[in-house]
Amino acid sequence: MVLTTRSPNIGIVEDFGAISDNEKGFIYYFAVLLFVIVTIFSTLLTAAFIIVSIFLWNHFKPIKFFWFLSQLTISAFLISTLNLLINVPAALSLISAEIAQSPMFMIMAYTIDFFHYSILFSNLVIAIQRLFVFFLRHLTDKFFETPIIYIWLLSVWLFPFLIEFSFVSSKCKYRYSTSEKRFLLNCEVDSITSVPIFSNPTTGIAMIDTSIQLVIPFLILGIYIAIIGKIITMKRTTLNKNEIAILQQAIFVFIVFQTSSFVFLLSRIFEITGATAFIVKRFVNTMEIFGGAATPCFFFFTSKEIRKLVSNRVSAASSLGGSNVQVRRQTVDG
């Protein structure tokens, strides 16, 4: 069986060669099952959090981190939704190879790529904002208040668009090489034959690939290491517990989303079988989608503002209930 369906979470074309039934063990089927369950769950959960964010927007509007988190959640919701529409049916062998190569399928696949890159840049902007808070606090309001914050938000969409445009115009994708037994980035060249011919990416495409796979993730990691070092050297009395909580949330976002990228990076270095490549691809899909659902969960359940808001609502409801009981008692006594 040759898998030719396309599931490009990060621009990967799925062609893992012939995978025999003997290679499809428990991990293989578990990866497919987990991917389907997580995709459905994440789509529903991120949709719920977007609705909640809309209702609580005025309450969280002063928290600039929440602006970027909301943008990240929207990207995660759209990734989950598109995976539910095209990659889940592909993983369950519910669509044909003809549909997988249709223009609409390809457009949706490239859209997933775009939102994947937007999540990476959301993480970068969040890290930069945290860097300002801990090292350049006096400039934080200046660089992250309106209207400048809209420039940061726009950059989260603009740079991914430029990256995706470069990849699409050059016909470059990540492909599993059955000869080298690892994932490679190569570009399709024009050919007079029906057999596709691939070449190594140009210097510009290679630089973009290095930036999104290594430079930006390590830059984010370096920022958080510097911030943690700063916190260790700070006096306890000068620490802002709310800022520390937001830092923890930001680091959690980074770890969740970069775990899949790290695993994919290893699959580009070491030789793996076709079945393992399929599992790696499903893992990359699953972790990114899981991160999209887990990130707003982590924020809402660790946010001091959320707990305070819920506490106030519960107290108000209890007080209202107590007042109604008292009124009814006075009516009965009267």
Place of tokens 């976002």: 253
CB atoms within 10 A of CB 248: 12
**Percent of the chain having pLDDT more than 70?**
77
Through-space distance between the first and last CA atoms of the chain, rounded to whole angstroms: 83
Nearest Cα neighbor of 174 from 233, 98, 87, 261 is: 261
Ordered by where they begin, the domains of the chain are 12-302 (1.20.1070.10)
Average pLDDT over residues 101-112: 82
* Interatomic CA distance for residues 39 and 32, integer angstroms: 11
Nearest to 76 by CA among 115, 105, 24, 123: 115
pLDDT computed for residue 159 by the predictor: 94
| pLDDT greater than 80 at residue 270 | yes
What is the reported pTM? Answer: 0.77
Confidence of residue 28 (pLDDT cuts 50, 70, 90): confident
| Predicted local confidence at residue 7, as pLDDT | 36
Of residues 98, 90, 105, 86, the one with CA closest to residue 43: 86
- Percentage above 90 pLDDT, the chain: 7
Which of the pair, 156 or 171, is modelled with greater confidence?
156
Cα(155)–Cα(301) distance, rounded to whole angstroms? 28
pLDDT digits (tens, 9 = 90+) for 118-158: 988 988 888 888 888 888 888 877 888 878 889 999 999 99
| Contact by Cβ (8 Å): 23, 273 | yes
Provide φ and ψ at 177, rounded to 5°: -90, 115
Residues 6+ apart with CB under 8 A from 281: 7, 9, 12, 14, 176
Work out the pLDDT band at 260, boundaries 50, 70, 90: confident
Per-residue confidence (pLDDT) for residue 4, from 0 to 100: 34
Cα 99–268–263 angle (5° rounding)? 90
Q: Where are the beta strands (DSSP E) in the chain?
A: 12-13, 172-177, 182-189, 197-199
In the predicted model, what is the mean pLDDT of residues 310-334?
58
pLDDT tens-digit series, residues 206-235: 899 889 888 888 888 888 888 888 877 776
> With bands split at pLDDT 50, 70 and 90, how would you rate the model's confidence at 168?
confident
Q: Specify which residues 184 forms β-bridges with.
A: 175
pLDDT digits (tens, 9 = 90+) for 66-96: 888 888 889 889 998 998 888 888 777 777 7
